[in-house]
Amino acid sequence: MNLYDSRMTILENLLPQAVPTEQIKLKIQHNLTKIENFKLREKRDGNSTKITKEIIRKECKGYRAKKKRVATLYECKGCDASPGYCTACFSNVHS
């Protein structure tokens, strides 16, 4: 009989219950997600009018801290008030 193997099997069976579910819920996930808010905009093209979707951009919070105004299509819902971030600033702030 192989003792090591049977111990590993027991560990694997216990693992899913080792982490309390409450701990997972409390952990804030920071993800860069695409902004879903949009407005409809009428665009005149000759005689016809096209209605286009325009995503409401946010100002990048990382650049704002550097006194620069940069619009981004992404936001972090894990942060307070889900601020906008560009990919570069997001990784800077969250790493």
Binding site for Zn ion (CB under 5 A): 30, 60, 62-63, 76, 78-79, 86, 89
Among residues 77, 95, 86, 89, which one has the least CA distance to residue 30?
Answer: 77
CB of 41 to Zn ion, least distance (A): 25
| Min separation Cβ 33 and Zn ion, Å | 10
Q: Which residue's CB comes closest to Zn ion? A: 89
Kindly give, in sequence order, each residue whose CB lies less than 8 Å from that of residue 75, ignoring residues fewer than 6 positions away. 32, 33, 35, 58, 82, 83, 84, 85
CB of 74 to Zn ion, least distance (A): 9
CB-wise, 58 or 89, nearer to Zn ion? 89
